[in-house]
């Protein structure tokens, strides 16, 4: 029996200029361009194996060990069909290649971070899906233009997924083609080796209630928020400026724009009818602490040393040059004591709670253990990786491991 399979991993990305709003729901075309930082797969990633053979009777997916019917999931199906179409074109061009585009696929996907962490996994998940199918189907991937083409397919799984196909700093251009969406694609601004000093601290904030999903939330914002109209007219200027800041490695401007855009996104969520609250009191306390940390630096004649950003949930991501991370982690632990001693993976030492000299400790109250239930210290990272068969998520008989 001829079996073909491909295993890859793909990274998580966290936007500095947020995507929020669609102008076309089915093609997933955004109302504004966005920009993100790809985070290292050493700490956070989705791994996916795609496998095909003539004998498979239906398309199947196992997501973190649970079986899902692909044919019932519109977005998964769109993504898979788009990849198959590309394979068909490839087979038409190379008639000697096996006609695997007609065969059903089995896909197994896993995240190396717990779903309970509340981190969005759809971006890395759909990027891994598109990338693994591209490999399975022998589609060209050597050129950045090929990856950018592939991002059109990942985008139709989940908008933010298109940005996870590149490492480093990535822009999702909104495009003008409303009919096919052929120019709404990801492009790399700079790769992860360009500014490797950029680190990220993810503060996992406890969240018991089930929030509004990004998809539903942004749709409601488009329909009801007046402030949103202002946002989509001005976001592009911020994007131009942050791109320049990245290319100049100007952290101060990068931080200013990142925080402004996060604030504006959450203001627009609040301006939605009925209002959407993604941040909670712990999120706001983290904003207070980062703001005070920057104030101390600026008061001493320095610049901003950290930037917070929040997606559609209460978790904070703090971007900062790696050299500031010890201070930042110390400060976060001071206000949000951790259940276990936090051993930093970069310094390989346990970091204790502490504040920098001149810090006004009254900016937030010291929270109970568990308010921030975990910390992940990571850094900017590379794009999807092709993995060897030893990492495959199926065993030799095609059963999920
Ligand atoms: C707040 O990509 O999850 O994280 O396209 O409907 O799947 P869909 O939405 P999704 O939205 C992400 C929104 C965000 C901002 C961002 O990542 O840019």
Q: What is the pLDDT of residues 137-172, one digit of tens each?
A: 999 999 999 999 999 999 999 999 999 999 999 999
Q: In ligand 1, which atom is closest to the CA atom of 28?
A: 5
Span 76-92, mean pLDDT?
Answer: 95
Domains of the chain by start residue, with CATH = 3-192+387-391 (3.30.230.10), 198-379 (3.30.70.890)
Q: Which of 159, 228, 235 to mutate to test the pocket of ligand 1 (most atoms within 8 A of CB)?
A: 159
Span 37-58, mean pLDDT?
Answer: 96
Span 221-238, mean pLDDT?
Answer: 98
Strand partners, 349: 344
Give the pLDDT confidence score for residue 211 in this predicted structure.
82
pLDDT digits (tens, 9 = 90+) for 290-346: 999 999 999 999 999 999 999 999 999 999 999 999 999 999 999 999 999 999 999
Q: Does ligand 1 have an atom closer than 6 angstroms to the CB of 373? A: no
- Read off the tokens for 356: 């920098």
Determine the Cα angle at 319 with ends 297 and 350, to 5°: 85
Determine the Cα angle at 52 with ends 120 and 73, to 5°: 40
The answer on pLDDT for 287 being more than 70 is yes
Q: What is the DSSP string of 317-355?
A: EEEEEGGGHHHHHHHHHHHS--SS-EEETTTTEEEPP--
Give the pLDDT confidence score for residue 116 in this predicted structure.
61
Q: Does ligand 1 have an atom closer than 6 angstroms to the CB of 262? A: no
Q: What is the DSSP letter of 72?
A: G
Q: Which of 46, 160, 174, 270 to mutate to test the pocket of ligand 1 (most atoms within 8 A of CB)?
A: 160
CA distance 35 to 55: 42
Q: Does ligand 1 have an atom closer than 6 angstroms to the CB of 28? A: yes
CA distance 221 to 17: 17
Determine the Cα angle at 327 with ends 341 and 249, to 5°: 130
3-state SS class at 38:
strand
pLDDT band at 70 (very low <50, low <70, confident <90, very high): confident
pLDDT digits (tens, 9 = 90+) for 103-140: 999 999 999 987 666 677 789 999 999 999 999 999 99
- Are 183 and 176 a contacting pair, CB within 8 Å? yes
Give the pLDDT confidence score for residue 72 in this predicted structure.
84
Å from CA of 319 to ligand 1 middle: 19
Q: Whose CA is nearest to atom 5 of ligand 1?
A: 159
Å from CA of 159 to ligand 1 middle: 6
Tokens 């101060």 belong to residue: 252
Q: Does ligand 1 have an atom closer than 6 angstroms to the CB of 312? A: yes
What ipTM was estimated for this complex?
A: 0.99
- Read off the tokens for 350: 């346990």
| Residue 348 Rama label (left phi>0; alpha psi -120 to 50; beta) | left
Q: In ligand 1, which atom is closest to the CA atom of 36?
A: 18
Å from CA of 30 to ligand 1 middle: 10
How crowded is residue 328: how many other Cβ atoms within 10 Å of its Cβ?
A: 23
φ and ψ at residue 378, rounded to 5 degrees: -140, -170
The answer on pLDDT for 177 being more than 80 is yes
Tokens 């680190």 belong to residue: 199
pLDDT digits (tens, 9 = 90+) for 7-32: 999 999 999 999 999 999 999 999 99
Å from CA of 265 to ligand 1 middle: 12
CA distance 72 to 376: 35
Give the pLDDT confidence score for residue 1 in this predicted structure.
82
Q: In ligand 1, which atom is closest to the CA atom of 18?
A: 18
């Amino acid at each position: 029996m001829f079996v073909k399979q491909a295993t890859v991993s793909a990274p998580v990305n966290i936007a500095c200029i947020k995507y929020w709003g669609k102008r076309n729901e089915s093609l997933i075309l955004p109302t504004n361009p966005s920009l993100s930082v790809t985070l290292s797969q050493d700490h956070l990633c989705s791994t996916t194996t795609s496998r095909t053979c003539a004998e498979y009777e239906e398309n199947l997916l196992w997501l973190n060990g649970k079986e899902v019917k692909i044919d019932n999931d519109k977005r998964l199906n769109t993504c898979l069909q788009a990849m198959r179409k590309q394979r068909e074109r490839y087979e038409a061009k190379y008639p000697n290649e096996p006609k695997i585009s007609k065969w059903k696929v089995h896909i197994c996907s896993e995240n190396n971070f717990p779903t309970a962490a509340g981190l969005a996994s759809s971006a890395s998940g759909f990027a891994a899906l598109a990338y693994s199918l591209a490999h399975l189907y022998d589609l060209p991937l050597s050129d950045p233009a090929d990856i950018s083409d592939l991002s059109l397919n990942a985008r139709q799984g989940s908008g933010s997924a298109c940005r996870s196909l590149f490492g480093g700093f990535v822009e999702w251009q909104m495009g003008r083609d409303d009919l096919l969406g052929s120019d709404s694609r990801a492009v790399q601004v700079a790769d992860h080796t360009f500014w490797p000093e950029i680190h990220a601290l993810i503060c996992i904030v406890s969240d018991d209630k089930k929030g509004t999903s990004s998809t539903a939330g942004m749709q409601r914002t488009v329909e009801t928020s007046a402030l949103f109209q202002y946002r989509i007219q001005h976001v592009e200027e911020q994007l131009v400026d942050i791109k320049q800041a990245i290319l100049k490695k100007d952290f101060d401007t990068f931080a200013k724009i990142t925080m402004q855009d996060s604030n504006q996104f959450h203001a627009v969520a609040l301006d939605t009818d009925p209002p959407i609250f993604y941040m909670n009191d712990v999120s706001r306390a983290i904003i207070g602490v980062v703001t005070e940390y920057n104030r101390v630096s600026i008061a001493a004649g320095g610049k901003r040393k950290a930037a917070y950003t929040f997606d559609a949930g209460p978790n904070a991501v703090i971007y900062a040059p790696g050299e500031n991370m010890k201070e930042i982690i110390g400060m976060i632990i001071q206000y949000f004591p951790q259940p276990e001693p936090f051993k930093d993976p970069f310094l390989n030492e346990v970091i204790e709670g502490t504040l920098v000299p001149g810090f006004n400790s009254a900016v937030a109250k010291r929270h109970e253990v568990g308010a921030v239930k975990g910390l992940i210290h990571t850094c900017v990272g590379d794009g999807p990786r092709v993995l060897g068969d030893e990492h495959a998520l199926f065993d030799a008989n095609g059963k999920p491991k």
